[in-house]
Amino acid sequence: MDIADLPTVNAILNATSAVLLSIGHRFIRRGNMAAHKRCMVSAFGVSMLFLVSYLTYHYHHGTTQFKGEGFIRPIYFSILISHTVLAATTVPLAVMTLSRGLKGKFEKHAKLAKWTYPIWLYVAVTGVIIYLMLYHVYD
């Protein structure tokens, strides 16, 4: 594997995280706490792998310029800015939410998860969208 492969790896990790989050959310809504826990811990692990891979790629490669022109530029940058701002909040939110759940503080966990889940899912999904726009649609 080469550094140039990491954006694809990152998109796969983001997509995997989004799927695990969605399945984990479904499990808890159905009352399956054990399966919910496995999915959410796995989503966190996959997201941490993503973070290491993302930072490694950008340390060695730097930024990638968006090549799209016209009406798509403000759309891309709107997605990118919202993704970036919310991504910065996702790590501490996910750590606090996961910690509360693992410690059995379920009421506090559930209150925070109502915010963490949609933000984390948005970040994971928009990460894939940004990848597609940067490397496949406007390449």
Number of domains in the chain: 1
CA atoms within 13 A on the CB side of 132: 10
In whole angstroms, give the CA distance from residue 139 to residue 131: 11
* CATH at residue 31: 1.20.120.80
Residue burial 112-138, b: 16+ Cβ < 10 Å; e: rest: bbeebbebbbbbbbbbbbbbebbeeee
pLDDT of amino acid 139: 60
First-to-final CA distance of the chain: 21
pLDDT of amino acid 119: 98
Kindly give the residue spans of alpha helices, DSSP state H, lying in 4-105: 6-29, 33-61, 72-102
Instruction: List the domain range (segments joined by +) for residue 62.
Output: 3-137
CA atoms within 13 A on the CB side of 67: 10
Helix-strand-coil split of the chain, %, nearest 5: 85, 0, 15
Would you mind telling me the total number of residues written for the chain in this entry?
139
pLDDT of amino acid 10: 97
pTM of the model: 0.93
Per-residue pLDDT of the chain (139 residues; tens, 9 = 90+): 899 999 999 999 999 999 999 999 999 999 999 999 999 999 999 999 999 999 999 999 988 999 999 999 999 999 999 999 999 999 999 999 999 999 999 999 999 999 999 999 999 999 999 999 999 876 6
